Structure 1
């Protein structure tokens, strides 16, 4: 708790020094407002959600921070997007989703799951001992220039894993898109540098810039949609190069764009914009040849230790 308070104070001082008293006051208001919403959700809100293991699937694709309405906008562009249903997520952030998904209740089926992930929260919220395989692709394939991990390294690792891990019954592929940063977009905000992951950002992300009127809604939504297309193009490649009876697509959480004054996806908040996520099912059939490009180079213990320390996890 002391470390959290210290980090909050340091962040406040940084905002004051770089952006002035007005921005500090504004940020303090939103912090208090979100804390009030969080307390209300804890006391009176819907704590339950639809655990992914309650559904039947062989391969599950997580589209990080994908809204239901966003996915429905591109349904006519991809043949595998037929009926888009809605599920209630078990969290409003990736960390909450991991903590509330891979639980003791589902330990037997988790133990037969391959988890291929581009989300660095896996480092602190997923234990490799609980799964058949945990492939943290973000460790080797993070794109520092784009400040995220692109879809293709995940797709390649997933294809290779599904073809080779015959003993595993299921596979989860956790893509980072359509979560910002928006690949190839000029819209900027605080990125997802591994050096800052999981810490309080001193800079505002794109949703906070939208909140403060410094980004136009239409431009931001267009970039958000393009980021979704970037990952769906890889989803199409994946389902055309593996065999699986049931492939499901969903999101770990949604994303607020001003609903009830909330922007982004703060933790512990039970708004529909954050907790209602898409659910799509299709099948996969290898109809074209594709040889994935995978890396066998694992980070050294020293590399991992340095990254974890930079992330504030050690």
Structure 2
């Protein structure tokens, strides 16, 4: 596969020498991938972070933000009664988090409202119901599920299931940066130029090519935090009981790795860097509503093609 890719890249250069710059991206990527794997092995061997309890902790509504940095949430927090603490996620990416927290569980007192397609990769009978917004509320223009849609469908589900706990999983602040004027400045275009699916989001571009303005990228990422927080507040205020806001994992924004001191971006799979695992645990309200556990409802499966297309749009290589 690599030989075929190299030959294809060579043909592109011969036809258009200006493509040499883009092909250089892949040469750097190959080197960085080796260094990343060395650092991955070190973190997996010596990571001392103790994963927190997410599902078994006390809450009536658990709001999960995707790839959120605690400090950026704190900059934009407007709640008047929140209690801040932190946990360490069991994984550095969404599927790893879900597998660790949900797999083989019977959570039949919980309805899961989600914009994240990875939930389809787990067995169907974990929750009482799953509201798959990546099928019913996907925005083709923005290539994600908007946070306003998550709030809308959560309200409908609460009306339908008044005696259930809720997990509400927003896709923000994960890329794409739908809140930001900087979105058009962020490249993420390398994959389109080379006809490959390995670099469709700007964190890869920043790490392997370093062409995007770092300040623009960070500001766009911050803006997605700012966008989603008021919607989290609405979810918390629309229901009695205790709401907790957390994240499935964080996101690296240029932290140096170890033992190879390269800069890391995004949230690589199975990469337990401390800054990637540390997530907020923000408690709002108090008390517990009375809930009941009932057998899972019947629902139609989401097609695997749809799941793969959504994951690809969000920058995950399938």
- Displacement over 6 Å in runs of 4+: 8-16, 311-314
The alignment yields a C-alpha RMSD, in angstroms, of: 3.0
Runs of 5+ unmatched residues, structure 2: 13-18, 190-195, 257-262, 288-298
| Corresponding residue number in structure 1 for 2:292 | none
Q: CA deviation at 1:41?
A: 2.8
CA contact (8 A) 2:108 2:126 kept: yes
Encode CA deviations 1:58-77: one digit per residue, 9 max, x unaligned.
100011100111112113xx
* Alignment check: 8 A CA contact 2:103 2:123 kept: no
Give, in angstroms, the shift of residue 234 of structure 1: 1.3
Contact 1:242 1:284 in 2 (8 A): no
Give 1:224's aligned residue.
221
Name the counterpart of 1:174. Answer: 169
Question: Cα–Cα, structure 1 residues 221 and 127, in superposed 2: closer, same or farther, change >3 Å?
Answer: same
User: How big is each residue's C-alpha offset from its partner over 1:26-77, in whole Å with a ceiling of 9 and x where there is no partner?
Assistant: 10112112211222233332475113023211100011100111112113xx
Residues 140-186 of structure 1, C-alpha deviations (whole Å, 9 max, x = no match): 21111111110111111112212321342x21000001111111434
Q: Which has the larger radius of gyration?
A: 2
Is the CA contact (8 Å cut-off) linking 2:115 and 2:145 kept in structure 1? Answer: yes
Q: SS where residue 64 of structure 2 aligns? A: strand
Q: Cα 1:99–1:47, aligned 2, differ >3 Å: closer, same or farther?
A: farther
Contact 1:41-1:268 within 8 A present in 2 as well: no
2:260 aligns with none
Q: Superposition pairs for residues 1-314 of structure 1, below 5 Å?
A: 6=1, 17=12, 20-46=22-48, 48-75=50-77, 78-80=78-80, 82-104=82-104, 107-108=105-106, 110-124=107-121, 126-168=122-164, 170-185=165-180, 186-187=182-183, 188-190=186-188, 201-211=197-207, 212-243=209-240, 245-260=241-256, 261-283=263-285, 304=303, 306-308=305-307, 310=309
CA contact (8 A) 1:15 1:24 kept: no
Closer/same/farther in 2, CA of residues 202 and 309 from structure 1, 3 Å limit: closer
C-alpha distance in structure 1 between counterparts of 2:308 and 2:266, whole Å: 26
Q: What TM-score do the two structures reach when normalised by structure 2?
A: 0.77
Q: Which runs of 5+ in 1 are unaligned?
A: 1-5, 192-199, 286-297
Q: Report Cα offsets for 1:193-249 as digits up to 9, x if no partner.
A: xxxxxxx83334222333333222222222112111211121222223222x11000
Change (3 A) 1:274 1:204: same
TM-score (norm. length: structure 1): 0.78
SS in 1 for 2:79: coil
Q: Is the 8 A contact 1:189 1:203 kept in 2?
A: no
Q: How many pairs does the alignment contain?
A: 278
